[in-house]
Chains A and B, each alone.
Chain A
Amino acid sequence: MSLHATYRDSGDVTVVDLGGRIVLGDGSALLRKTVRQLLDDNRTKILINLADVNYIDSSGIGELVHAYTSVKTRGGELKLLHLTKKVRDLLQITKLYTVFEVHSDEASAVSSFR
């Protein structure tokens, strides 16, 4: 299942809804393209909704880290929402769970942005 991505506004926060697999190839490329497009549009408060993502490989993890650092470099914030168990476990064993701010409720996630 390839990755699909859409985004929507919630106040001044952009919520990116991802679905499918973030893996080497088109999935990682689409995530990179989406975040780059948002930054080009000066959207620097980004909430990535991973509710429908149940598979990420090391390439996908790298792309999430790249997105995080790209947004941070622009003075913005990137946070994660609704991790599936597999994705949560993966971020925990790679110690990235402590790097990303992770939320389980969209409203509180949106209101947590400065």
Chain B
Amino acid sequence: MTDEHMAQDSRHLEVVLDTQVESVNLAEEMCLRVAEAAGFDEEMCYRIGMSVREGVINAFHYGNQERPDKKIHLAVDLTPEKLVIHVMDEGKGFKLSDVPDPLAEENILSTSGRGIFLMRAFMDEFDVVPGTTGGAEIVMSKRLPGSDNGHGNGQSSSSGGDTAPQKNA
């Protein structure tokens, strides 16, 4: 069973998830509800949901190495301008600059390594920073509908690291 601890106020939601496959769906569903309530349309909800999936898959597989004794920390902040999602693992962390480009010819037939690329493509802002757990913290955001430049065009605009699409750590 997933061990959840939730603390919610009007603009902040946190969940601590077990390192298991079911946590990916749970995180996606939770963030989709927030996104729908915030007024994002179906296409934007799809992009947000996919990005959350990829962030949690990254934490589950690469960060926590699928170890059940480690946790995945998911936080969602809804500000007047944007929806901000944080996914933090308890692994060793990684640098975006070390992540291979999945679009490179030598990687195109790789069976993994497209998660970070998809998050960067689907969200307006994306970064990976050192987490307070010692692992990696993915921080990504989407501007709210109606805000300046709301409904981004789906192109990435990383606030850190390389600008080239990259592979999961």
Binding site for B on A (CB under 8 A): 23-25, 57-59, 61-63, 65-66, 68-69, 86, 90, 93-96, 99
Q: CB within 8 A of A58: which of B22, B46, B109, B115?
A: B115
For the residues of B in contact with A, the DSSP-based class is helix
Number of chain B interface residues as a range = 20 to 34
Instruction: Please tell me if the beta carbons of A57 and B57 are within 8 angstroms of each other in the complex.
Output: yes
Q: CB within 8 A of A57: which of B53, B60, B117?
A: B53
Instruction: Please tell me if the beta carbons of A94 and B111 are within 8 angstroms of each other in the complex.
Output: no
Interface hits, B60-83 → A, CB 8 Å: 60
Which residues on A sit within 8 Å (CB–CB) of B118?
57-58, 90, 93-94
B45 to chain A: closest CB distance in Å? 12
6 tightest A-B contacts by CB? Answer: A62-B111, A25-B21, A58-B114, A58-B115, A66-B111, A62-B112
Which residues on B sit within 8 Å (CB–CB) of A69?
109, 111
